[in-house]
Amino acid sequence: MSEIEVPVIRPRRLRTTPALRRMVAETSVEARQLILPVFVREGATEPVPISSMPGVVQHTRDSLKAAAAEAAELGLGGIMLFGVPTAKDAVGSGAIDPDGILNVAIADVVGEIGDAVTVMSDLCLDEFTDHGHCGVLDRHGRVDNDRTLEVYAEMARAHAEAGVHMVGPSGMMDGQVAVIRSALDAADHHDVSILAYSAKYASAFYGPFREAVDSSLQGDRRTYQQDPANALEGVREALLDVAEGADLVMVKPALPYLDVLRQVRDAVDVPVAAYNISGEYAMLEAAAAQGWIDREPAILETLTSIRRAGADVILTYWASEAARLLQR
């Protein structure tokens, strides 16, 4: 038998016990870094399950308040509100109606939890338009960037009047952050911050979300959302948003774009968010339901990978559950 040379350097020493592994861990996930996206359905009398997102529902106004209270108790960083209206039109007028579902939901949640959790709103028209696009259409059926900005300004003011802490413009219109910042400041809402959906890609992973918001989308969004082939473009968009006044920038989706997330994190000097989106959630849940993966460790590993790539905060439908797992 040949003599085996004994290794002097043994990296396994630092993996010996759970306490030692915790001590030298390079990346952590904490409840304060997690944001819970939630859907509230106008007129709903009980929560409506979303079939493609097991465990996620369209909330009633009352169940939304309960979810927000739980988020505060768990120490989550934020809750992002999406409205599901009963009526839509070509210009998304329900988005700026003070009595529209998203605006009343903002007021409900702020009234329930105050500033215990950052109350955030999706500032976009896609849930409110009968064509399902994120903006107003011109006579050729194309999204009119500058007319859409006018509506975004009104929507930002409506959300601020309802009490929102942070708006999340997600429509990928050129100049949207500058217009929203100007509108908020002109209305003396200087403290309302902006989470810019800066690098938002035209992804195949949005399917379950479209069920969640009862999307009416006709066609696709490739003329305003980004080409999945482009990484430098995502960095450019983030830098533009920072220059326009964004307080945070975001990469969406998360898992197929971890490389973009790292590049954005390295390029900007504001906090960076990533959205662990519906399709990513649905894939893991489906695999776990088949017994193909160990669900709870897979959730935490997924969130850790997003943090490791550079996200300061993560929007995830597992936010509340992950916070409970982290408490164990």
Owner of token pair 């959790």: 117
DSSP state, residue 239? H
Say what the pTM is.
0.95
pLDDT of residue 210: 87
pLDDT of residue 98: 96
Q: Average pLDDT for residues 265-285, to the nearest whole number?
A: 98
Which tokens sit at 272? 């960076």
Task: Report the b/e string of 55-71 with b at 16+ CB within 10 A.
Answer: ebbbbbbebbbebbebb
Identify the residue with better confidence: 313 or 213.
313
Which tokens sit at 221? 């969004």
Domain locations in the chain?
29-327
Task: Report the alpha-carbon distance of residue 279 to residue 286 in Å, rounded.
Answer: 10
Task: Report the alpha-carbon distance of residue 186 to residue 184 in Å, rounded.
Answer: 6
Q: Give the HSE-up count for residue 15: Cα atoms under 13 Å, Cβ half-sphere.
A: 3
Q: Average pLDDT for residues 276-295, to the nearest whole number?
A: 98
Q: Average pLDDT for residues 138-152, to the nearest whole number?
A: 96
Query: Each residue of 314-326: pLDDT tens digit?
Result: 999 999 999 999 9
Query: Each residue of 12-60: pLDDT tens digit?
Result: 999 999 999 999 999 999 999 999 999 999 999 999 999 999 999 999 9
DSSP states of 128-178? TBTT--SS-B-TTS-B-HHHHHHHHHHHHHHHHHHT-SEEEE-S--TTHHH
Q: For the chain, give me the number of helices (H) and strands (E)?
A: 11, 10
Nearest one of 200, 89, 219 to 141, comparing CA atoms: 219
pLDDT of residue 303: 98
- Which regions of the chain does DSSP assign to beta strands (E)? 34-41, 48-49, 57-59, 78-84, 118-123, 166-169, 193-200, 248-252, 272-276, 313-316
Q: Is the peptide bond before 253 cis (omega within 30 degrees of 0)?
A: yes
Residue 1 in this model has a pLDDT that exceeds 60: no
**pLDDT > 70 fraction of the chain, expressed in percent and rounded:** 99
Task: Report the alpha-carbon distance of residue 218 to residue 235 in Å, rounded.
Answer: 29
Task: Report the alpha-carbon distance of residue 328 to residue 216 in Å, rounded.
Answer: 41
Q: What is the mean pLDDT of the chain?
A: 96
User: Residues 257, 263, 308, CA angle at the centre, nearest 5°?
Assistant: 70
Beta carbons of 302 and 64 less than 8 angstroms apart? no
- Fold classification of 29-327 is TIM Barrel (3.20.20)
Q: Give the HSE-up count for residue 12: Cα atoms under 13 Å, Cβ half-sphere.
A: 3
Beta carbons of 53 and 77 less than 8 angstroms apart? no
Task: Report the alpha-carbon distance of residue 200 to residue 168 in Å, rounded.
Answer: 12
Is 252 among the catalytic positions? yes
For residue 2, name the pLDDT band (cuts at 50, 70, 90).
low
pLDDT of residue 217: 84
Which tokens sit at 189? 């809402």
Catalytic option among 88, 165, 181, 252: 252
Is 65 among the catalytic positions? no
What torsion, rounded to 10 degrees, do the Cα atoms 97, 103, 108, 114 define? -130
Task: Report the alpha-carbon distance of residue 254 to residue 311 in Å, rounded.
Answer: 9
For residue 87, name the pLDDT band (cuts at 50, 70, 90).
very high
pLDDT of residue 4: 84
Q: Average pLDDT for residues 65-82, to the nearest whole number?
A: 98
Which tokens sit at 26? 């390079």
Catalytic option among 61, 200, 221, 265: 200
Query: Each residue of 210-258: pLDDT tens digit?
Result: 889 888 888 889 999 999 999 999 999 999 999 999 999 999 999 999 9
Distance of CA 187 to the CA centre of its chain: 26
Which tokens sit at 231? 């990484």
Task: Report the alpha-carbon distance of residue 136 to residue 142 in Å, rounded.
Answer: 8
**Least-confidence region, from 163-172, 189-198, 214-223, 292-301:** 214-223
Which tokens sit at 54? 């097991």
pLDDT of residue 56: 97
Residue type, 153: A
**Least-confidence region, from 28-42, 114-128, 200-214, 304-318:** 200-214
Which tokens sit at 117? 């959790």
